[in-house]
Amino acid sequence: MTDAKIPYSLNSKAVAEATRFWLQKRGVTILEIAELVMLLQKKYYPNLTMEECIHNVEMVLSKREVQNAVLTGIQLDVLAEEGKLFTPLQDMIENDEGLYGVDEILAFSIVNVYGSIGFTNYGYVDKLKPGVLERLNDKTTGQIHTYLDDIVGAVAAAASSRIAHRKQAEREQELGLPHAPEDVEEAARRSVPENEEPE
């Protein structure tokens, strides 16, 4: 894997790209996650667009903490699907054992990226399993998504939290309130040329 002659050096771009690659390979599109976000947020922001939802999912997926959790969780799903884990971990992940909670722990580290206000949204979608989550929970396909279904719900919950923070910033700007520091970061981010945004 690593060539003995090249010393290890973290490549952030490679981590980001692997995250997108593996989500897609496991059958989850950014659009589907954005649809969960819309479901969670449209009641609070009637003018919310799918474009905004997609953008916020992208921003969540650009966070390293999120990438680490996504890659680790999908890796465990894939290995379980191939039957390569040791017993009884294999059995617990393969059967999405209710008393095995490490998948929720990883999901939680994703939700946390935009703070505690996302906890509720995570629990809600994880319980109701709308849209893509229903498909990921179908136990008849032979595929194992014990981690991925929690991860997808967590990304949607984190994106919802991000939207809540941004909408507040927009509201304050419209009211002509002086910039709070977080607005500055947002403003700076918006000034980034489109083609430098994560695609």
Helix (H, G, I), strand (E, B) or coil at 49: coil
Minimum separation from the CB atom of position 32 to its own copies (A): 20
What is the DSSP-derived secondary structure letter of residue 95? T
Q: Which residue, 53 or 169, is less far from its own copies as judged by CB?
A: 169
Minimum separation from the CB atom of position 50 to its own copies (A): 20
Angle of helix 64-81 relative to helix 50-61, nearest 10 degrees? 80
Minimum separation from the CB atom of position 180 to its own copies (A): 3
Q: Which residue, 29 or 198, is less far from its own copies as judged by CB?
A: 198
Q: Which residue, 33 or 92, is less far from its own copies as judged by CB?
A: 92
- Residues written for the chain: 199
Q: What is the 3-state secondary structure (H, E, C) of 4-45?
A: CCCCCCCCHHHHHHHHHHHHHHCCCCHHHHHHHHHHHHCCCC
Q: Which residue, 5 or 10, is less far from its own copies as judged by CB?
A: 10
Minimum separation from the CB atom of position 78 to its own copies (A): 8
| CA neighbor of 70 nearest in space, from 31, 24, 120, 116 | 24
Q: Which residue, 65 or 138, is less far from its own copies as judged by CB?
A: 65
Residue type, 25: K
Minimum separation from the CB atom of position 54 to its own copies (A): 14
Q: 60 is written with which tokens? A: 């969540």
Residue type, 3: D
Torsion of the alpha carbons at 49, 51, 57 and 63, rounded to the nearest 10: -130
